[in-house]
Structure 1
Amino acid sequence: MGKATGFMEFERKTIANRPPLERVKDWDEIHEHFDEEKVQTQGARCMDCGTPYCHTGMTLANMASGCPVNNLIPEFNDLVYQGKWQDAYERLMKTNNFPEFTGRVCPAPCEGSCVLGVIEPPVTIKDIECSIIDKAWNEGWVTPTPPKERTGKKIAVVGSGPAGLAAADQLNKAGHLVTIFERADRPGGLLMYGIPNMKLEKQVVTRRTQLMEAEGVVIKCGVEIGKDIPAKQLMEEFDSVVLCCGATKPRDLPIEGRELTNIRFAMEFLGPNTKELWDIKDGKSEQFTELAKGKNVVIIGGGDTGTDCVGTSLRHGCKSVTQLEIMPKPPTERAPNNPWPEWPKTYKMDYGQEEAAEIQGEDPRQYLVTSSKFEGDEEGKVKAVHIHNIEWTNDNGRFIPKKVEGSERVLEAELVLLAMGFLGPEATIAEELGLDLDARSNVKADYGTFKTNIEGVFAAGDMRRGQSLIVWAINEGRAVARECDKFLMGSTKLP
């Protein structure tokens, strides 16, 4: 806990974001720099709750409740309150390999289950976590710590997203020789090319992967397993293979006009945008394509990806941006069927919507809306989206959308971005190795063992569980490393 009476004395104050109209002019991180004294005051709000739920890592109502990596939150809150920042850093690193990632982009299920949140706004756990690791980097406390002994066992990790990086980091700590294979030109997976720079500065990713390389992890980029190197070759050259390839197959919208140009999946928009930015910074390119510039942009789908499409379109200088959500607008307070400590499904404005509201005068989201047709011009380019309202009706226990008659309307759109989630992993490696799949087309491997039907081949992260949170990917990366170590050595000391 922090100060015994801190939760009564101090109000919740988060680290501020830069003003929307200022930050849309650049691609820098939206966050202001943290103030140590203010963060320590927020740490003081951590109350002596007796049974803390913030680090439980449960799943309630199909959502995370508490921290999936079981961060020792009350402990590091207290240490920050006391000004013992280095001790707080050491406590944080016991459970989380990459707090600089989760401290920036995790939705903070820990805060949703904070006991203080029952009666008052919860503790600013996410801000405190991010402040701890940023201070650690600034003070030089984060240094390479390669293992003292090597086992001689060789492990291939396919994919350098959060699950793959966490697995590699842990297996390297156990003394194994780890090689990461990444098909993109830079490591990081969705951390690098799935999340825009303004939400996660890419230097934050690069400094961590460089640290891992200094500790002995080999990272090979530009190598696609199943194409450049057969997956079976990995099984011949390595003692074990850990698959962390993500769930990168996007959900499509097969309606009339889908073949028109300028209708793109969200990642076809976000990934190349970040790559061009960093190619320019690295001196590899001088060209930057502002695909949304001067266009009416319609984003179909919500969630973090939809928000990132909003923020990116605004930075391109779009004419307008509209975001369509098929679900109803969430309530401003917890609904009776969404009790604590479940994740609160309440209305909020994320950074992209805040920026759009400042520029356009209102939240860009339209709720309970679906698209029926894309309309094109004589050149085969999209020029409009036909939409209508829906209502959710109960059909023998199944909720299905029903059209609201008379609600049809047309939105101008020279660019349409599909941000409707992902269906599962790409099939190339699974087909080559003959891996079993579950009913949702994910690689079949039980949580806890992570073993596929092929001996020595493990699967973790979104590839196994489906699209999920970064913090769950780190959880699975750490856990699959433990199981892989046990498979190779007969026992394990990994946490």
Structure 2
Amino acid sequence: MSEFMRPIPFKELMEWCRNEYKSQNTIFGIHKDKFYRNEKGTYITTVLGDKMGSAVGPAAGPQSQLAQNIIASYLTGARFMEIKTVQIMDGEEIQNAVARPCIFAEDECYNCEWSTELTVQQAFEEYTKAYFAIQVLAKELGLADYKDFAYNMSVGYDLAGIKSEKVDNYIEGLKDASNTPIFKECKEYLSDNLNNYIKFGSSDLEAISPNICQSITLSTLHGCPADEIEKISHYLLTEKKLNTFVKCNPTMLGYDYVRKTLDSMGFDYISFTDHHFKNDLQYDDAIEMFKRLTETSKKEGLAFGLKITNTCPVDTKRNELPSEEMYMSGRSLYPLSISLAAKLSNEFKGQLPIAYSGGADGLNIRDLFKTGIQPITVATTILKPGGYNRFKQLAEETEDLLTPEYKGIDYQALNKYAEEVKSNPVNNKLYREKVASRKTDKELGLTDCYQAPCKDGGCPINQQIPEYLKLVAEGRYEDAIKVIANDNTAPTILGQICSHHCQEYCTRVDYEKTLQIRDMKLIAADNAQEKLISEIKPSDIKSNSKVAVIGAGPSGVAAASYLRRNGMNVVVFEKLAKPYGIVSHVIPRFRISDEQINRDFKIAEAQGVEFRFNTEVTDSYEELKKEYDYIVVATGAWKNGAAPVKEGAENTIDALDFLWKMRMEGGMDLGKKVAVVGAGDVAMDCSRLSKRQLGVEEVTLVYRRTESYMPATQEEVEDVKADNITILELTAPVSYDGKVLKCEKMKLGDWDASGRKSVEGTGEFIELEVDTVIGATGAKVDTSAFEANGLNLDERGRVKVLESRESSVENVYVIGDCKAGASTIVKGMADAKFAAMDILAKEGLGNDFTQFDFPEYDEVIYERRGVLQRPLEGKEEGLRCLKCDQICEICTEVCPNRANVAIEIEGFKTPHQIVHIDGMCNECGNCAVFCPTAGKPYKDKITVFWTEEDFIDSTNVGFLRINEDTFKVRLENGNIIEHKLGDGQLSYTLTRFLETLLEDYEYYWAPTGVAK
């Protein structure tokens, strides 16, 4: 494929809109239910003099580059269009200068593109086409009774370029387009085709003003001299007679302020030097300049203001993009942008108009708008799942605040709000939890690619999460617990203390906050598990073979449960007096009670599993096999971890020993001051439990890295903070003599291959007076039994197993923590499931793992898309589920250019299939970032090509139309053929796709006269 975008001629653009709406009730993928109309009748008159039906719109960026992008923005609620920046470098020259992919919006956003990738003339034509199209659609669809939107053009980056003929023609053309060929073409087409429209008539056409735009924003590159910025602004005001805004860079805040702010909010990994801070416009110079330009604007009878903010230049250190430097925006820019807005507003006592962009979204835009900042534009939030649909919430959130008269900025309120932004936990990086990518390792197929990443990638036992979330939300707890118990043998334990890997993959992570899946599971267990247990009847024994499970921890109980309920005879041997190992003997009671643990044990008991407690297996596996056909070893990881100090380890206590004593032996004397070394969930447990002990006054958690690198779930870290436990970051213990813990201060070094910063000593030491040091550095596995029984181990001393968890000794399986070291309960349960299914298959037995199906209308699913929402209370939280198991289509939502489309097609697992429109793609890579599979939709999906050049330049499976019934086709195997309809050369898949595209989606094919 090619990164070259092919603008759609106006005729085809309008026919596309009309035909798609007629057949699909959508326009460029935007469903009519997401169309926005200001029902309150409020409006805003900006300082620029524009009357608009909402105060929001796309920032000058990917969403305002092509005509279809601007149309999609308008349909969903955008009314202030910051059309993408133009400059003297354009077209092929800039396309070749931009690295691909060029956008990485996984959380905060980075980009390495800056201006339109079209020629300046093409950009002008795109903006003009969209200008006409919006006014036609607004009237025809009943979205507005007047021209309720405005354009704001953007230019850069030096005065010479802005004065060049092509940029000057662009500016003058937008000021008055009446004599331009594209304006005449659009008007002529509409005049000749008014019969296609019901509400839009000749009077509406004549009312379309050729004065497309009377305002401009100066976007200067970092490092542009102050006098150059002022010369350009003065030129735009005095010679071009345009209302003028100037973009301000966050570098005006100074290196120290920006570095400290980002560090304090969890963005300490973002790397940059003070280079741009020294070379960009300096704050004091800016203030004097803005004062002079304000006076100039008054003399000219024009408006002058600021646009807060431009992106922040940072270094590429983690392979985010294929460039040495990139531009940061979104969530991490938010505290910087609002701080700069407040600082500048103070200088001018709220009288200098400020337009805003920099991390606005559906959850903060109302508070932003209340300060008087307007209009507000966005880019990052609409690059994420939900895409353009997010505009509707943005518009609705501010609808009742719109006023017809601009009143300036309440700078005191803005000051207060700027401080709140920095202190509010929801704006901290770690509010999103420690989630890097939601992408799973699942291959992206040509068809049927949708998946619920929470269960297919995030849950080791593939619990049917969307299904039970729906049931819990509806209060159908008995149905929900049946779905949960289908895969999960410990619903209460995993509802209480599961490490919830599923939540790391939840699509809601890319909205605002992961859905609280674990909590929903516990609600179902609390309400219906006892009834489920009462209805369990032991299954008949279906095999003469017997299974011995060694260890009654979570993994052992799970294996026994899976096997027994499917007809196997199982005996579990446990050397302790009760089941669930670490859970029942080590994890603190404030985390989980004996009653909760016992509720899960009742499931296995009711199923007929035989348990032999206080029974340690000392026989060899060979001896055991005389009575048992299969052996499942689930003995856990009980060996003490590495010493927390280099010297004086004998004076410390291991975490497992400490936790055992506290839960099983009535506790121990800790003294007044306790230090816990480590940063996993066990370290968090030790810290919180220590703080609860009588006589303990102070607990310190000591960790050699920073909080963002802690292996503990962020939820556990927040609980530690809530208990007023001190977290001592970048501190490595060295020695402990029973009274003083000596530590070396550490610092983060360069990025390593894992994407983390390395850590190195500073040579500076501190001493902590503590009475007890607890080492929580990870438990180890006692492998002596494996060695004695001849099981093969790897170079790290871990037992070697197949995917089925079978060891090198036939019919001996190793599962849970003893397999590869301390891990999570649910991963151990997954081991048990693999082993059980393998044993059942060997015995010729089926299994009872059922796929539940609870269909829901697509309309209900689509309603939730694009709406940001904080976690809800109780069972209502399930209503935040986006039903990814039924509809994904994320690649269609996040594509700024609308190049990925969903078509309805029969003959496949799901009627919704994805097609890629090559001519609308510039290989920004955004769909690849957010696709929950390991694939890249813009490369892996069946593709419609518009030009021979693009077809040749691609490796995508897809079609190039040669004439009415002949196509050039790249097949699934990569071969290229010429196909004539009906010749039988295509596979069933390609045949059905081509037939459907021709019958129902004719407008996707190469528009006549498409620009080459």
Matched, 1:245 2:607: no
1:371 and 2:733 matched: yes
From 832, 836, 841, the counterpart of 1:486: 841
- Establish whether residue 268 from structure 1 lines up as the match of residue 623 from structure 2: no
Q: Is the 8 A contact 1:330 1:345 kept in 2?
A: no
8 Å Cα contact 1:310-1:352 kept in structure 2: yes
Per-residue deviation at 1:133? 1.2
Structure 1 residue 466 displacement after superposition? 2.6
Secondary structure of 1:222's counterpart equals coil
Q: What are the ranges of 5 or more consecutive residues in structure 2 without an aligned counterpart?
A: 1-32, 35-385, 394-448, 850-1012
Partner of 1:33: none
SS at structure 1 position matched to 2:810: coil
Of 137, 144, 169, the residue aligned with 2:561 is 169
Q: Which has the higher contact order (CA 8 A, sep 6+)?
A: 1
Task: Write the deviation string for residues 206-234 of structure 1: whole angstroms up to 9, x where unpaired.
Answer: 233244234321212222223xx444432
- Quote the offset at 1:386 in angstroms: 0.4
Q: CA deviation at 1:142?
A: 4.7
- CA distance in 1 between counterparts of 2:525 and 2:465 reads 14
Counterpart selection for 2:763 from 405, 408, 411: 405
Provide the secondary structure at the position in 2 that maps to 1:308: helix
Distance 1:416 1:344 in 2: 19
Q: Once the two structures are superposed, what CA deviation does each residue of 1:328-356 show, in whole Å capped at 9, x if it has no partner?
A: 22199xxxxxxxxxx9986863434422x
Shift of 1:265: 0.6
1:389 pairs, out of 738, 745, 751, with: 745
Aligned to 1:434: 790
| Structure 2 match to 1:324 | 702
Shift of 1:438: 1.8
Aligned partners of 1:81, 1:331: CA distance in 2, in Å? 34
Contact 1:307/1:353 (CA < 8 Å) preserved in 2? no
Deviation at 1:87, TM superposition (A): 1.5
Alignment correspondent of 1:457: 812
Amino acid at match of 2:518: K
**2:512 matched residue in structure 1:** 120
Amino acid at match of 2:659: L
Show the counterpart of 1:52.
452
Provide, for residues 153-178 of structure 1, a one-character-per-residue CA deviation record: whole Å limited to 9, x for no partner. 21110111111111000111122221
SS in 2 for 1:441: coil
Whole-angstrom CA distance in 2 between matches of 1:326 and 1:472? 27
User: What is the SS of the residue equivalent to 1:77?
Assistant: helix
The alignment partner of 1:152 has SS state of: coil
- C-alpha change, 1:304 and 1:348, in structure 2 (3 Å) is closer
Shift of 1:130: 0.8
Please say if residues 489 and 603 of structure 2, whose CA atoms lie closer than 8 Å, have aligned partners that are also in contact.
no
How far, CA to CA, are the matches of 2:615 and 2:752 in structure 1?
49
TM-score, normalised by the number of residues in structure 2: 0.38
1:338 maps to what in 2? none
For residues 396 and 107 of structure 1, the distance between their equivalents in structure 2, rounded to whole angstroms, comes to: 26
8 Å Cα contact 1:154-1:240 kept in structure 2: yes
Deviations 1:230-257 (A, max 9, x none): 4443222211100111223332226122
The size of the alignment, in residue pairs, is 402
SS in 1 for 2:483: helix
Task: Return the alpha-carbon distance in structure 2 between the equivalents of residues 124 and 98 of structure 1.
Answer: 18
Provide the rounded CA distance (Å) in 2 between the counterparts of 1:396 and 1:476: 31
Question: Structure 1 residue 51: deviation in Å?
Answer: 4.4
Residues 140, 173 of structure 1: alpha-carbon distance in 2 compared, 3 angstrom cutoff: closer
SS at match of 1:55: helix
Equivalent residue number for residue 117 of structure 2: none
For residues 181-196 of structure 1, the aligned pairs below 5 Å read: 181-196=573-588
Task: Give the letter for the 1:256 counterpart.
Answer: E
Residues 491 and 600 in structure 2, CA contact (< 8 A), matched pair in contact too: no
Whether contact under 8 Å (1:225, 1:231) holds in the other structure is no
1:144–1:215 Cα contact (<8 Å) kept: yes
Calculate the aligned-residue CA RMSD, in Å.
2.9
Q: For the Cα contact (< 8 Å) 1:231–1:432, is it kept in 2?
A: no
Matches within 5 A, 1:216-231: 216-226=608-618, 229-231=619-621
Aligned to 2:823: 468
Instruction: Say whether the 8 Å CA contact 1:99–1:130 is kept in structure 2.
Output: yes
Amino acid at match of 1:409: I
Structure 1 residue aligned with 2:625 = 235
Confirm or deny that 1:76 pairs with 2:453.
no
Matches within 5 A, 1:249-398: 249-253=639-643, 255-260=646-651, 263-276=652-665, 288-292=666-670, 294-317=671-694, 318-330=696-708, 349-355=717-723, 357=724, 363-375=725-737, 382-394=738-750
Partner SS, residue 443 of structure 1: coil
User: What are the superposed Cα offsets for residues 429-486 of structure 1, whole Å, 9 maximum, x if unpaired?
Assistant: 1122111112332211022x21111112111122223322111111111111111222
AA partner of residue 470 (structure 1): I
**Shift in Å, 1:306:** 0.6
Per-residue deviation, residues 285-333 of structure 1 (Å, max 9, x unmatched)? xxx33332x331111111110111112212222132111112222199x
% identical aligned pairs: 26
**Cα 1:367/1:427, change in 2 over 3 Å:** same
Q: Deviations over 1:65-110 (max 9, x none)?
A: x222112111112222222221112222222121211111113222
Instruction: Give the alignment's TM-score, normalised by structure 1.
Output: 0.75
Q: Which amino acid aligns with 2:689?
A: T
Cα distance in 1, alignment partners of residues 688 and 465 from structure 2: 31
Following the alignment from structure 2 to structure 1, what is the Cα–Cα distance between the partners of residues 782 and 562? 26
Query: Gapped runs of 5+ residues in structure 1?
Result: 10-48, 58-65, 277-287, 333-342, 358-362, 376-381
- Alpha-carbon distance in 2 for matches of 1:458, 1:494: 21
Change (3 A) 1:203 1:133: same
Please report how far the alpha carbon of residue 179 of structure 1 lies from its aligned counterpart in structure 2 after TM superposition: 1.1
Kindly state the Cα deviation for residue 392 of structure 1 after the two structures are TM-superposed: 3.7
The answer to whether the 8 A contact 1:370-1:390 is kept is: yes
| Rounded Cα–Cα distance in structure 2 between residues aligned with 1:473 and 1:83 | 30
CA shift for structure 1 position 152 = 2.9
Aligned-partner residue type, residue 435 of structure 1 = L
Structure 2: how far apart are the matches of 1:476 and 1:395?
33
SS class of match (2:570): strand
SS of equivalent to 1:256 = coil
Alpha-carbon contact 1:164-1:243 (below 8 Å) kept: yes
Change (3 A) 1:152 1:353: farther
Q: Which has the larger radius of gyration?
A: 2
Contact 2:677 2:774 in 1 (8 A): yes
Which amino acid is 1:419 matched to?
A
Q: Distance in 2 between matches of 1:305 and 1:125?
A: 22
Distance 1:243 1:149 in 2: 22
Distance (whole Å) between structure 2 residues aligned to residue 460 and residue 440 of structure 1: 17
**Aligned partners of 1:412 and 1:367: how far apart in 2?**
17
Partner of 2:63: none
Answer 1 or 2: which has greater helix percent.
Answer: 2
Instruction: Measure the CA separation in 2 of the matches of 1:347 and 1:126.
Output: 12
Indicate if the aligned counterparts of 2:530 and 2:599 stay in contact, CA closer than 8 A: no
In structure 2, what is the Cα distance between the partners aligned to 1:412 and 1:104? 35
